[in-house]
Amino acid sequence: MTLETFPLLTVMTFLPLVGALFVMLIKGSDDTRVRNNAVNVGAFISFCVFGLSLVMLFNFDTETSDFQFVENVIWFEALNLTYHMGVDGISVFFVVLAALLTPICILLCKQSVTSRTREYVVALLILETLMIGTFCALDGILFYIFFEGVLIPMFILIGVWGGPKRVYAAFKFFLFTLLGSVLMLIALIYMFVAYGTTDIPTMMFDPLAGDIQFWLFLAFFASFAVKMPMWPVHTWLPDAHVEAPTGGSVILAGVLLKMGGYGFLRFSIPMFPEATELFAPMIFWLSVIAIIYTSLIALVQTDMKKMIAYSSVAHMGYVTLGIFTATTNGVEGAIFQMISHGLISAALFICVGVIYDRMHTREIKRYGGIVKNMPKYATLFMIFMLGSVGLPGTSGFVGEILALMGAFQADTVIGTLAASGLVLGATYMLWLYRQVVFGPVENKDAAAMNDVNGMEKFALIPLAAMVIWLGVQPNFVLDRIGPSVENLLNNYYTAISLPTDELARMGR
Amino acid sequence: MILETLAVFIPLITFIIAFLGCKIIGDRGAQFLTCTGIIASAVMSCMLFQDVILDGNVRTITLMTWISSGDFIVDWAIRLDTLSVVMMCVITLVSSCVHVYSVGYMSHDAHKARFMSYLSLFTFAMLMLVTADNLIQLFFGWEGVGLASYLLIGFWNHKHSANRAAMKAFIVNRVGDLGLALGIFVIFILFGSVQFDTIFVGVNDVIYDTFPFWGYEIHALTLACLLLFIGACGKSAQLGLHTWLPDAMEGPTPVSALIHAATMVTAGIFLVARFSPLYEYAPDALMVVTYLGAFTAIVAATIGMTQFDIKRVIAYSTMSQLGYMFFALGVSAYGAAMFHLMTHAFFKALLFLGAGSVIHAMSNEQDMRKMGGIWKKIPFTYAMMWIGSLALAGIPYFAGYFSKDMVLESAWADQSSHGNLAYWLGVTAAFITAFYSWRLLIMTFHGKSRASQKVLDHVHESPLSMTLPLLFLSVGAVGAGYVFYELFVGHDREHFWANSLFILPANDTVEAAHHVPMWVKKTPLVAAVSGIVIATLIYGTGGKFAGFISKIFKPLHALFFNKYYFDELYHTIFQRPAIWFGALFTKWGDQKTINGLGPDGIAKLSKGGAGILSKLQTGYVYHYAFMMMIGLVAVISWIFWKMIEW
């Protein structure tokens, strides 16, 4: 069987689900053995998926903007529903990101999750299926199922393995996302009626005429903005992060936050171009507010996870900003920023997890001076801290500078205000690092902590290497996303130059 | 190809090996490796000096593409022209001295390998900055030196004060970097490229262009130059963004010598000189540069003469000298600015390392009020400090004499009101410079000792690894002015600078400076000598007279001594409001408004909301998840069913 006929995306999507079934079947009287077996099987499966994702990445054709590895079979004939999968430059790296972070989370749970480890692994594997499915699905309904399905295992991860206020956090997460997804579902149904199909490539670059575009845009926006999350619907994120276990936070920050941005690029811009143009200024301002407002909030946080969660909101501000500038630099910067943030914020949450496992507190004040007995940890943490700050030479810089460049091209006021995040971001991250890692040792427990162990190194060192590698050689990513972004923008500009009545004459 | 690549990348390699492999190669190994590496790099840089400048082999080597996104294409490259090679030589030579010196100075420290590796990292970043052929690589070096500076200021990271200073340095510099980044954006939009050559060739087409910025149409080149200048102000500690530099003295003294005197802080000068083709067509921007430089020179000098910490005095002196360089740039005397940059690197590094030798001898005491009367015990250091001070004051035939006079004469020769102001402020600053230099010499070395007996018993001359670099730098502090005068600002300057600097014929102030009246040439010297004489009169007769004078001018003295209250001002208008807004947004924004109207509000609204919620919250999350799943399935099935009906 050659790669052309091998259903790579389907295997990648559903292998974790099959693995989850296997893990569920692991039984035994010895708890530790069940635990170890569950983790090992889960890790093995997810590593296989990661390997497949690399196969996909290295066979990805950088010359075309078409969907690749496409599988298209009729699923529900009466409804003209298809099981349509495929990746292009915009989605391919998110698949790899999901496939990379899942095995790391599964391995790390060996030391951070003490109860119901088997179920934890099952939840993560199901989550992986849904995440990869979201980024591969090329049918609206299929996308919707994956996209909303992600909620369930995430809800469970927070609700079962979370901190003391986990139920409140899980419900908040649920309430916010539910609001958006209901509207999106209604919009999808309307589009099904209008187009007669929910096939994404069919709907792309073939916009509906008239005001309906604006309503559909808003309905999708409600869902994506919550997932992003954009200001002012971001308040579920800090609570969710604070209560979630380390693995949950890593996946949440690393992959789930990218689904909103991906949605904007897959649905909003190509399907509702006129509405995009109309609403772009509003989104610019929401993004700028997100950057400044949440950075200032991050500055006064006393809880490590909350601070990093708020910093995520600020970083996602660059993403929405970049996407809606509809410039090559802006959109490529936004995608790069999402990938980079996926690595950096995931690593930062692992870093927090490392010391949380040792001290069982997220209170910044309780730490201090840990560089003395944890020098390796300090070095790794510093790399991610600098990445988050956007230091040139790390991946954080490339995304930020491109997104800001796009923003500045679109509007100098917005570009300047957003660039103030360079200063604010540095302030809260350096402050966090200084409080936790540097300074005199004030807490005896903090002084007694051991440096990172083998498993933690195994998780953090590759991430650090990737952050630096993508900072020095970002073209590996940019070359692959380039053609798709170019195609997206070309079609976008063609679409908005067509007046609405002409679209009406074309029968839409 | 290999030579120049090695010259730039050896420090990176030694950094990586010394940092990651310090356990394997040990402290000795790390010291040996980094010192050898940087000396090799210095030798190669000097070879490039011959090759590129004297033989005229100007070239750019492209190593590989870094970022390409649409039209935005950036390379990793090494650009070799006079400007970059002069900087390379200064950087690697001073860095070599500092590396060797550090072996002695840090001999009691527990983290020698880490220290040496950071020094190499800094050198690498600085070399990347000056050899960049585009703005983004320059930005890489620019922030890279900022990172190294942050790491080295906070090297003793168990100290709160060191951490605070390191953070302050990074953040204040980031404010400057914000300006630089915006400048880069403007230039990219204007020229469609960030490549230096493309930009410089394109200048002629945009001389009269305007740029829409915040709703105003602004002269494009002026806007770009001013934004770049904000970046320069941050890195080079010009008035407004200078507050980090004095605090940066928390770092070990070799760091102060290398980063905060000789090299990193001159990056701003380099940036403006590099962009001379743009600045020449932006006279308003040049005027701003002149004014800010001139005021920085005088303000820093007045603060410096009231400080008691030996390193802070020299730090303010550095800031003041950077002001000189900036107003030289402002009057288009780029060559003179670079000349002063070069000589200053030698004598200021000498002064700092000399001060380090004093501090080392005095058991880490930095307060000049607790020194005095030690010149006989450390005669070599004493002699070195004299040489450094003579060069700084601009006494004939020492390095500073040639360069500083050239700067001042160019300012006068500009024949403009801002040039004139810069000249007179510069002369006044020269007087104060000489004054605080001799105040420093006398308070540190002469009179009755004010140190405790225990400290005094311990006073000793530094080891060879520290004195040798001092000796080398003193050669530069004595001879660099005389030797390089003709090349930098004299008859050979056009051939020397070739195309690396651009000066409009009408703005050639360096040429005009050779023809200024005699009194313009002599006044700075008179000012310097009177500064020395007055300082000797006041401090040579014991400290009482100084106290008397400071009492007479009490408000003025308080203003100087408290550094014009910049820190207090910034604390009030930036730091406190940021915290206040952060707290406000947390409580009233997120909690009360968004959550209050959103999820919490909904929960409250629903009848007996809290009760229901708590009843619901039985803890069996599986139940909820199951319900969600049922719900999702139900919704989707219902839709399918409805659709089929259609």
Instruction: Give me the half-sphere count of Cα atoms (radius 13 Å) on the Cβ side of residue A263.
Output: 31
- Whether B629 sits inside 8 A of A171 (CB atoms) is no
Q: What part of A 248-287 touches B (C-beta under 8 Å)?
A: none
For residues A321 and A288, the answer to whether their CB atoms sit within 8 Å is yes
Name which of B48, B145, B51 is nearest B93 in CA terms.
B48
Q: What is the pLDDT of residue B610?
A: 47
- Whether B174 sits inside 8 A of A422 (CB atoms) is yes
Please name the member of B177, B185, B640 whose beta carbon is closest to the beta carbon of A415: B185
Please name the member of A192, A402, A439 whose beta carbon is closest to the beta carbon of B163: A439
**Ramachandran angles phi, psi of A275, nearest 5°:** -65, -40
Q: What is the pLDDT of residue A92?
A: 94
Please name the member of B69, B582, B639 whose beta carbon is closest to the beta carbon of A300: B582
Q: What is the pLDDT of residue B602?
A: 66
Q: For residue A489, give Cα distances in angstroms to A135, A399, A493.
A: 20, 18, 6
CA distance to partner chain A, nearest, from residue B166 (Å): 10
Residue A253 pLDDT > 70: yes
CA distance to partner chain B, nearest, from residue A54 (Å): 22
Q: Does B617 touch chain A (CB under 8 A)?
A: yes
Q: What is the pLDDT of residues A383-397, one digit of tens each?
A: 999 999 999 999 999
| Number of residues in chain A | 508
For residues B65 and B14, the answer to whether their CB atoms sit within 8 Å is no
Q: What is the pLDDT of residues A320-334, one digit of tens each?
A: 999 999 999 999 999
Reduce the DSSP state of residue A88 to 3 states and report it: coil
Using a CB-CB cut-off of 8 Å, the residues of chain A touching B68 are 475, 478-479
The C-alpha atoms of residue B472 and residue B491 are separated, in whole angstroms, by 28
Q: What is the pLDDT of residue B557?
A: 85
Q: Does A482 touch chain B (CB under 8 A)?
A: yes
For residues A336 and B68, the answer to whether their CB atoms sit within 8 Å is no
Please name the member of A79, A149, A189 whose beta carbon is closest to the beta carbon of B644: A79
Average pLDDT for residues A19-28, to the nearest whole number? Answer: 87
Q: What is the pLDDT of residue B344?
A: 95
Q: What is the pLDDT of residue B609?
A: 46
- Give the number of other CB atoms < 10 A from CB of residue B644: 10
The C-alpha atoms of residue A205 and residue A272 are separated, in whole angstroms, by 8
Name which of B528, B435, B263, B474 is nearest B354 in CA terms.
B474
**Best residue in A291, A339, A417, A434 to probe B by mutation, most B CBs within 10 Å?**
A434
- Please enumerate in sequence order all residues whose Cβ is within 8 A of that of B341, keeping only pairs 6 or more positions apart, or say none: B90, B266, B269, B270, B325
- Please enumerate in sequence order all residues whose Cβ is within 8 A of that of A17, keeping only pairs 6 or more positions apart, or say none: A125, A126, A129
The C-alpha atoms of residue B271 and residue B129 are separated, in whole angstroms, by 9
Q: Which DSSP letter does residue A116 get?
A: -
CA distance to partner chain B, nearest, from residue A9 (Å): 24
**Best residue in B62, B66, B67 to probe A by mutation, most A CBs within 10 Å?**
B67
Reduce the DSSP state of residue B61 to 3 states and report it: strand
Name which of B405, B408, B407 is nearest B424 in CA terms.
B408
Q: What is the pLDDT of residue A77?
A: 73
CA distance to partner chain B, nearest, from residue A219 (Å): 17
- How many CB pairs (< 8 A) connect A and B? 186
CA distance to partner chain B, nearest, from residue A76 (Å): 10
The C-alpha atoms of residue A345 and residue A315 are separated, in whole angstroms, by 10
The C-alpha atoms of residue B372 and residue B130 are separated, in whole angstroms, by 41
Mean pLDDT per 10-residue segment, chain B (646 residues): 90 94 89 95 94 89 91 92 94 95 91 93 95 95 95 92 93 94 94 93 91 91 95 93 92 92 93 95 95 95 92 94 95 94 95 93 88 88 94 92 94 92 95 94 88 85 91 93 92 89 91 92 94 90 76 85 88 87 84 76 57 50 58 66 58
**Ramachandran angles phi, psi of B205, nearest 5°:** -80, -15
Q: What is the pLDDT of residue A111?
A: 79
The C-alpha atoms of residue B214 and residue B157 are separated, in whole angstroms, by 42
Q: State both tokens at B247.
A: 């605090």
The C-alpha atoms of residue B150 and residue B146 are separated, in whole angstroms, by 6
Q: What part of B 130-149 touches A (C-beta under 8 Å)?
A: 136, 139-140, 143-144, 147
- Whether A159 sits inside 8 A of B582 (CB atoms) is no
Name which of B391, B393, B403 is nearest B266 in CA terms.
B403
The C-alpha atoms of residue B66 and residue B337 are separated, in whole angstroms, by 32
Using a CB-CB cut-off of 8 Å, the residues of chain A touching B189 are 408-409
- Please enumerate in sequence order all residues whose Cβ is within 8 A of that of A369, keeping only pairs 6 or more positions apart, or say none: A437, A438, A439, A440, A441, A442, A446, A447, B158
- Whether B624 sits inside 8 A of A332 (CB atoms) is no
For residues B400 and B492, the answer to whether their CB atoms sit within 8 Å is no
Domain boundaries, chain A: 8-487
The C-alpha atoms of residue B336 and residue B331 are separated, in whole angstroms, by 10
Q: Does B9 touch chain A (CB under 8 A)?
A: no
Average pLDDT for residues A242-255, to the nearest whole number? Answer: 91
More confident residue, A297 or A231: A297
- Whether B628 sits inside 8 A of A438 (CB atoms) is no
**Best residue in A300, A337, A376 to probe B by mutation, most B CBs within 10 Å?**
A300
Q: For residue A241, give Cα distances in angstroms to A152, A247, A253, A425, A480.
A: 16, 10, 8, 19, 31
Q: What is the pLDDT of residue A110?
A: 81
| Number of residues in chain B | 646
Q: State both tokens at B132.
A: 């960049």
**What stretch of H or E contains A289?**
helix A273-299
Evaluate the omega torsion of the peptide bond into residue A281 and state whether it is cis, within 30 degrees of 0. no
More confident residue, B536 or A2: B536
Q: Does B577 touch chain A (CB under 8 A)?
A: no
Q: What is the pLDDT of residue A231?
A: 83
Average pLDDT for residues A111-139, to the nearest whole number? Answer: 89
Instruction: Give me the half-sphere count of Cα atoms (radius 13 Å) on the Cβ side of residue B401.
Output: 17
- Whether B590 sits inside 8 A of A297 (CB atoms) is yes
Q: For residue A46, give Cα distances in angstroms to A51, A109, A124, A129, A466.
A: 9, 14, 10, 10, 19
Which band of pLDDT confidence, cut at 50, 70 and 90, is reported for residue A441? confident
A192 to chain B: closest CA residue:
B643
Reduce the DSSP state of residue B145 to 3 states and report it: helix
- Whether B171 sits inside 8 A of A149 (CB atoms) is no
Using a CB-CB cut-off of 8 Å, the residues of chain B touching A371 are 157
The C-alpha atoms of residue A282 and residue A288 are separated, in whole angstroms, by 10
The C-alpha atoms of residue A330 and residue B277 are separated, in whole angstroms, by 29
